[in-house]
């Protein structure tokens, strides 16, 4: 999940782009589903207002993309170069383990690069939202371009 005011994923990607340290895991073309936080809030509201939703769980997404598409769009909007480096899933996972270990030894929380991030970005993860669409009339409202534009606008006022 990401979107404007996301201080975890969006901020990590922006800082890594600015520092030139971002890389693709594999070829960066793994299909992933992305949820804009505002779409998640919208679906939660729909569920809260529906009798059908009692005791039910719903998947939410805004759009499908690839890490490459997300990062290249973000880089373009920020007028920064897109990454050229690639790492295998295995080497990214090992690097994330080292970063987590260093953070733990230093007594810090929230390492910037984690095994979870490698899993989420480095493997295909498509979400089926058919149930939310059928039972709640959920329709995603945010596209990749709109979400990234809003992230960039927020970031420019945040810094």
Is the confidence at residue 120, as pLDDT, over 90?
Answer: no
Spatial distance between the Cα atoms of 34 and 62, rounded to a whole number of angstroms: 6
Question: What's the confidence (pLDDT) of residue 103?
Answer: 96
**In the 8-state DSSP scheme, what is residue 113?**
S
Question: What's the confidence (pLDDT) of residue 110?
Answer: 87
Spatial distance between the Cα atoms of 19 and 96, rounded to a whole number of angstroms: 17
Question: What's the confidence (pLDDT) of residue 58?
Answer: 98
More confident residue, 7 or 128: 128
pTM of the prediction? Answer: 0.87
Is the confidence at residue 159, as pLDDT, over 80?
Answer: no
Q: How distant, in Å, are the alpha carbons of 13, 19, 89, 136, 141 from that of 7?
A: 10, 17, 24, 29, 21
More confident residue, 110 or 44: 44
């Amino acid at each position: 999940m990401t979107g404007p005011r996301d201080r975890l994923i969006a901020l990590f990607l922006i800082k890594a782009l600015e520092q030139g340290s971002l890389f693709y895991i594999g070829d960066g073309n793994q299909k992933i589903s992305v949820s804009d936080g505002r779409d998640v809030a919208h679906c939660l509201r729909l569920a809260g207002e529906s009798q059908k939703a009692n005791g039910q769980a719903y998947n939410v997404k805004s759009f499908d993309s690839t890490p490459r598409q997300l990062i290249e769009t973000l880089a373009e909007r920020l007028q920064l170069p897109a990454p050229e480096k690639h790492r295998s899933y295995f080497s990214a996972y090992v690097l994330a383990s080292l970063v987590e270990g260093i953070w733990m030894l230093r007594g810090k929380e929230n390492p910037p690069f984690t095994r979870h991030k490698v899993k989420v970005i480095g493997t295909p993860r498509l979400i089926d939202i058919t149930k939310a669409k059928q039972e709640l009339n959920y329709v995603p409202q945010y596209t990749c371009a709109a979400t990234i534009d809003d992230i960039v606008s927020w970031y420019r006022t945040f810094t």
